[in-house]
Amino acid sequence: MASAQDKLAQMEARQCYRNVWEVDLFHAPAADPRFCCFAFWCGPCVSYILRKRALRDDMSRYTCCAGYMPCSGRCGESKCPEFCLCTEVILCFNNSVASTRFLLQDEFNIQTTPCDNCIIAFMVCVQQLACIFSLLGCILGCEEIQEAAHILRCIANLTFCTVCPCMQTQHKVEMDKRDGTLGASAMAVPPSQQMSRLDQPYPAAPVGYPYGQHPGSYPAPGYPVANPPPPYPHSHR
């Protein structure tokens, strides 16, 4: 029960985050069209790449579904993390994308914009409606309901195949910003840093991403500051 309460507290805390995504879901395809196409055709491969990059290529930190699911830490991740990640992105593709999203949000204090919430909510609602109509069609044996369920499934699949690549592109652009490679033709090796989670204290001030830090500091520079501190007072003679 305590674990469920902790998960609920995490979800509520994300509503109070101060930073926003570099691009929202609606503009993500335009931010990196080639990667969005790659995510559309090879979603599990992209999910593997993004999770490994989110962990800064340190697979010793990997846990199934990034620690957000009941099975996390119980799948032998410490013995063979690469194999476990491959299994996750293939068998639990939806959870793998969502877990990477939560991982980035908790690390960089990123909230989800109302536009993104509407798009994600629409995708989930259509999937639920398709499932409900499929069950009703099987129980009642009504051809009209079964036909409606088939149409809803097509809409749900089309919505998912559209939203998921946009979401993965959004994650990629955010990590480009984190690693200082946003807009660069080649990806530099990110410095070794420690991820922050909700159970770890954030820097006292300023809220959001620190400013003016050297490249090896945590978090990486380049993020806006919500409330920068006042300038250091100068002495007057």
Please tell me the number of Cα atoms within 13 Å of 66 on its side-chain side. Answer: 28
pLDDT of residue 190: 45
Distance CA 201, CA 218 (A): 13
Put simply, whether the predicted model's pTM sits higher than 0.75 gets the answer no
The predicted structure's pLDDT at residue 7: 64
Burial class (CB in 10 A: 0-12, 13-18, 19+), 160: middle
In tens digits, what is the pLDDT along the chain, a chain of 237 residues? 345 666 667 766 776 788 889 999 999 999 999 999 999 999 999 999 999 999 999 998 999 888 888 777 777 788 889 999 999 999 999 999 999 999 999 889 998 888 898 999 999 999 999 999 989 988 888 888 889 999 999 999 999 999 999 999 999 999 999 988 876 543 444 444 444 444 444 443 333 343 333 333 344 444 444 444 444 444 444
Closest-CA residue to 107 (of 175, 22, 45, 164): 175
**Which stretches of 92-231 are DSSP H helices?**
93-108, 114-140, 143-179
Compute the residue count for the chain: 237
